Chains A and B, each alone.
Chain A
């Protein structure tokens, strides 16, 4: 996109809820970091509830510890988010993407994805455990 002057317009980063509505691609993978192994947003049928946040598999590669996750996703809970759930939604699942803004004394900067209508049964596995710090 360009301004009338011809200068390139930088797309402003913002939270996922401000992002455009998208559909997941085939075989796209997401990760969810949680301080809780019994994450309540993961339903017993292996789906994510509507309005649940995660991040992209690519962005998750920046996170080596639960403490890294707290900083990158600006989590208010200082307990390390060391439980990692893997999400493999069906193609064309509704999402919005954004960039985590600084909050709660944390820098943010990671990619956040919200599954506006959740995911289908048997699309979530885990958690696996990463080091706390």
Chain B
């Protein structure tokens, strides 16, 4: 499965910067998409970049929350 790195919209970066990190320089998050699909335990780098499978590269994000360990 190929993954690609995409940049989050500024509103999600702003949200993530209000939340704690999961480790130095990253957060583990769950992402809900507009089409109802969900990506669980995705890593966000620097509150602005995520790696997702190719098929999600153009997906619209509805919500981002910290992943509950």
Contacts and interface: CB of A to CB of B under 8 A. Distances in A.
Interface stretch (A6-14, A21-29, A51-59, A123-131): A51-59
A77 B48 CA distance: 13
Chain B contact residues (Cβ within 8 angstroms of A): what range?
10 to 19
Interface residues of A, number: 27
Interface of A is mostly: loop
A51 B20 CA distance: 4
B61 to A, nearest CB: 18
Interface of B: 13, 17-21, 23-26, 43, 45-48
B17 A81 contact: no
Contact of B20 (A40, A50, A74, A112): A50
B25 A81 contact: yes
